[in-house]
Structure 1
Amino acid sequence: MQCSSPGPRKGRARPTGRTGRPRSAEADAAILDATRAALVELGWGKLTMGDVAARAKVAKTTLYRRWASKNELVVDAVAVLFDELELPDRGCLKDDIEGVVLQFAALLARPETKTALMAVVAESTTDDALRNRIRSAVVDRQKRLVVQGRERAQRRGELPKDTGDPEGAAAAARSVDMIFDVIAGAVVHRALVSGEPVDAAWAARFTTLLLGGLGSLERED
């Protein structure tokens, strides 16, 4: 597949934060940075809210006003890292996918991402509330990249357009879920479970496989 020249990049809308009393962005960033640093050094079991507060140089009451528990705090510390992911227009769907796969793998290679993600996923196997928070704060938020890439590919004529009826909207949602699961699942498994490199060659082979199935999936939906 040949790519056309990418168009001008548009600024990515950041996910909206919580509503209510304005908070100090500087304090939030310091707390989340301290949480990830503590996880790398101490691990989930030894991490405490008091340790995070001391590292961030904030009062423990400041911490609890923002996060009710360690679970909530660690998930948000992970989520803000994944908000760094972007999907610049590289000219065609193949290059868009390869680019985000490599960007995702580079993020997972960072010690703070790897440690925090593995910790919350492990804990969520016995904690439904934590699993739901991971889904809303990380998974559902990052599906924005699939929605953006899919809409861009539809405008280029690389994927069929959605119909404007409720059935078409449901089919589009199913496609977004499946695409996200396949990409995230494959990259996380290779990088964090198998411990194999996610390099340009692997990303190209994976994208070829994905695109072969994606055409069938979109036609089926």
Structure 2
Amino acid sequence: MSSPSKAGRPRSADLDRALLVATQDLLAEVGYDRLSIETVAARCGAGKATVYRRWAGKSELVADAVAQLHGEYPEPDTGTLRGDLLLMSSIWLDPDSRRDAVVAGLLTAMAHDAGLREAVRVAVSEPHQAIFAAIVGRAVARGEVPAGRDLEMIGSVFPAVTFHHLTVLAAPVGKELVERIIDGVLMPALTWHEPTTRG
């Protein structure tokens, strides 16, 4: 998760959480474009200066709100590649229509807001990719995965399919979908071996 500004008066963890929840609620209610720092602050009975002491701007606030909505990615070490991938993906298994509505609305805004894209990349995408790389690194060390896989490309498959499911298909992400992605796409992409040629 990105780090809000530390300037100003001492931080209140309760107020931080309240501001992030208010941001999530407003994203679901009015969307990113109509959300403002003023409306977030007003919903918490605070002034906009209170928000700006914590976040540089709207993009950073929204990115942290989305990161909090997802929760922290687990850092699995089950001893198997499949087990680790399943545990990493477990944050999606609890149905959450509020979360899904926020994520779906955010994707549209990200298409034309470079600042928001960068903030979401730092707060959401980078933590996901870092844990995915650690999972695969351990699998390589165990001999489950050959070295040299394109982790950036393969690691983007799960977010891409889940977001497509949420936005284009307007369907929740459940256990069956997660297992289909892992067993049908990620595991084969990570574990395949080049065929040996015989002279």
Higher helix share: 1
Distance 1:149 1:66, change over 3 A: same
Q: Which residue matches 1:120? A: 106
Deviation at 1:35, TM superposition (A): 0.8
CA contact (8 A) 1:32 1:76 kept: yes
1:142 to 95, 117, 128: 128
Distance 1:115 1:218, change over 3 A: farther
Matches of 1:72 and 1:36 in 2, distance apart? Answer: 13
CA contact (8 A) 1:121 1:131 kept: no
1:213 to 175, 183, 189: 189
Identity percentage over the alignment? Answer: 32
Post-superposition Cα deviations, 1:27-81, rounded to whole Å, max 9, x if no partner, equal: 2111101111222233334423222112223222111222343333212211223
Matches of 2:86 and 2:61 in 1, distance apart? Answer: 31
2:45 to 57, 74, 77: 57
Matches of 1:217 and 1:126 in 2, distance apart? Answer: 40
CA RMSD of aligned residues (A): 2.8
Matches of 1:35 and 1:129 in 2, distance apart? Answer: 17
Deviation at 1:136, TM superposition (A): 1.9
SS at match of 1:194: coil
Post-superposition Cα deviations, 1:127-169, rounded to whole Å, max 9, x if no partner, equal: 22222222222211221220221123223321235xxxxxxxx
Q: Which residue matches 1:104? A: 92
Q: Which residue matches 2:76? A: 88
Matches of 2:57 and 2:23 in 1, distance apart? Answer: 12
Q: One-letter code of the match for 1:192?
A: T
Paired residues, number: 192
CA contact (8 A) 2:146 2:193 kept: no
Q: What TM-score does the superposition give when structure 2 sets the normalisation length?
A: 0.79
1:151 to 112, 130, 137: 137
Matches of 1:191 and 1:105 in 2, distance apart? Answer: 13
Q: One-letter code of the match for 1:139?
A: S
Structure 1 stretches of 5 or more lacking a match?
1-14, 162-170
Q: What TM-score does the superposition give when structure 1 sets the normalisation length?
A: 0.72
Q: One-letter code of the match for 1:185?
A: A
Matches of 1:218 and 1:133 in 2, distance apart? Answer: 38
Matches of 2:145 and 2:65 in 1, distance apart? Answer: 35
